[in-house]
Amino acid sequence: MTARRHPKVTLADVAREANVSVSAASKALRHTDRISAQTQRAVAEAARRLGYASPAERASRSAKRKRSGLVGLITSDYNGRFSLPLLTGAETTLGASNHAALLMSSHGQPALERGHIDRLAAYGVDGLIVVGDTTNPRNPLEERTTMGLPVVYTYDPSRDPDDCSIICDNVGAGAQAIEYLLSLGRRYIAIIAGAEDFQAARDRIQGAQRTFVLYDFRPVDVLYDSWSEDWGERAARILTERHPHLDAIYCLSDEIARGAVRGLMAAGRNVPGDVAVIGHDNWYVFSSNTHPTLTTFDNNITLIGKTAAQYLLDAINGNPHHGVFSVECPMIVRESTEAGRRTPLESSGRIYEKRLGA
């Protein structure tokens, strides 16, 4: 008995499946600029579902979709402060696996983010790295947007615990900051934070409070406002008026720290002789391009990029990771604390969460 032959899938079938005209389907499969990224992706997905291949592809097409060797990076970072070092780290790992990265900025707009993903998917990227810039948890991408593409979230973790997210260890940084100041003999320590609704502020203060409790100390004050140099200067003036014995300030950003140094000096306090100052971010504009230079924490964005790329490659190869993974923030010691004297503490225990080492 002769086996029944399956009808050949045509371009018209693909157009009907994608709910577009045959002409639009043809242009979409050729990546014509006149066809929107959303339509291109819809047609590409319809072609894959139906097993359609263009004449040029038909001879080499296999049952499994061929990998493109491309990975998409979608960032909400406006000035490249986070996305560029992360891209550098990711490309180090991707290059070793014959992959390349395509970077697109969403400017924090969900609709633009979806549009970029549609365009990347239409060109056949193998996976996505989503780059944030606030540390605040974000909503995960919808399934109708990813359509099966593996995704790794960086800096801003996904709210879905089943997703893979790579973040910097802000809790560990806060713990280390206070331990270091206590080891220098500082005892009247204040904290100047940015906006209280930022996860970075909550995490760094949580870590700081753990060390205070561990050594039976407490901060003399914790002040919240904006992530700005002006706020750091105003806060330092407030602290010197409230606390004459103030001898250290942990600032939760380098912008705040540089402002605090200026405020302390205006109040007649020497840094670090009278008051030691620590910042966070290791942003050159604020931490090194100032006097005194700032002791600070580096967010290790390059390592986050390397780790994210490796975890994405694992997912592409069928071994996905799930949960939130933390990368250590190393402390960079500079002039704003280095003149302090060391005093042994009763305990040398450290209370960092589990994290990925450098």
The model's pLDDT over 165-185, given as tens digits with 9 standing for 90+, comes to 999 999 999 999 999 999 999
**SS3 per residue for the chain:** CCCCCCCCCCHHHHHHHHCCCHHHHHHHHCCCCCCCHHHHHHHHHHHHHHCCCCHHHHCCCCCCCCCCCEEEEEECCCCCCCHHHHHHHHHHHHHHCCCEEEEEECCCCHHHHHHHHHHHHHCCCCEEEEECCCCCCECCCCHHHHCCCCEEEECCCECCCCCEEEEECHHHHHHHHHHHHHHCCCCCEEEECCCCCCHHHHHHHHHHHHHHHHCCCCCCEEECCCCCHHHHHHHHHHHHHHCCCCCEEEECCHHHHHHHHHHHHHCCCCCCCCCEEECCECCHHHHCCCCCCCEEEECCHHHHHHHHHHHHHHHHCCCCCCEEEEECCCEECCCCCCCCCCCCCCCCCCCCCCCECC
Percent of the chain with pLDDT over 90: 56
Q: Is the pLDDT of residue 251 over 70?
A: yes
Residue 107 confidence class, pLDDT cut points 50, 70, 90? confident
Q: For residue 344, what are its two tokens? A: 């042994």
Name the residue among 209, 163, 169, 123 with its Cα closest to residue 304. Answer: 169
Q: Is the pLDDT of residue 200 over 80?
A: yes
d(CA 129, CA 178): 33
Name the residue among 173, 134, 125, 175 with its Cα closest to residue 153. Answer: 134
Residue 357 confidence class, pLDDT cut points 50, 70, 90? very low
d(CA 248, CA 187): 8
Burial (0-12, 13-18, 19+ Cβ within 10 Å), 59:
exposed
Residue 243 confidence class, pLDDT cut points 50, 70, 90? very high
Minimum mean pLDDT among 9-18, 91-100, 274-283: which range?
A: 9-18
Reported as a single tens digit per residue, the pLDDT across 59-86 is 334 334 467 788 988 888 766 777 889 9
Bridge partner residues of 133 (DSSP): none
Per-residue pLDDT averaged across 228-257, rounded?
97
- Supply the pLDDT for residue 55: 53
- Supply the pLDDT for residue 341: 45
Mean pLDDT of the chain: 85
Per-residue pLDDT averaged across 211-224, rounded?
97
Bridge partner residues of 323 (DSSP): 164
Identify which of 5-14, 99-108, 213-222 has the greatest average pLDDT. Answer: 213-222
Residues comprising the chain, all counted: 358
- Supply the pLDDT for residue 31: 65
d(CA 322, CA 311): 10
Residue 58 confidence class, pLDDT cut points 50, 70, 90? very low
- CA triplet 130, 136, 141: central angle to 5 degrees? 40
Q: Which residue has the higher pLDDT, 55 or 134?
A: 134
Residue 19 confidence class, pLDDT cut points 50, 70, 90? confident
d(CA 49, CA 311): 27
The answer to whether the beta carbons of residues 206 and 171 sit under 8 Å apart is yes
- Supply the pLDDT for residue 353: 34
Identify which of 42-51, 139-148, 187-196 has the greatest average pLDDT. Answer: 187-196
d(CA 278, CA 59): 63
- Supply the pLDDT for residue 129: 94
Reported as a single tens digit per residue, the pLDDT across 130-146 is 998 889 999 998 887 78
Residue 90 confidence class, pLDDT cut points 50, 70, 90? very high
Percent of the chain with pLDDT over 70: 86
Residue 33 confidence class, pLDDT cut points 50, 70, 90? low
Name the residue among 53, 76, 79 with its Cα closest to residue 66. Answer: 53
Residue 147 confidence class, pLDDT cut points 50, 70, 90? confident
Q: Which amino acid does the sequence have at 68?
A: S
276 half-sphere exposure, CB direction, 13 A CA radius:
26
Per-residue pLDDT averaged across 191-196, rounded?
96
Residue 356 confidence class, pLDDT cut points 50, 70, 90? very low
Residue 34 confidence class, pLDDT cut points 50, 70, 90? low
Domains, the chain, ranges and CATH?
11-58 (1.10.260), 70-169+301-329 (3.40.50.2300), 170-298 (3.40.50.2300)
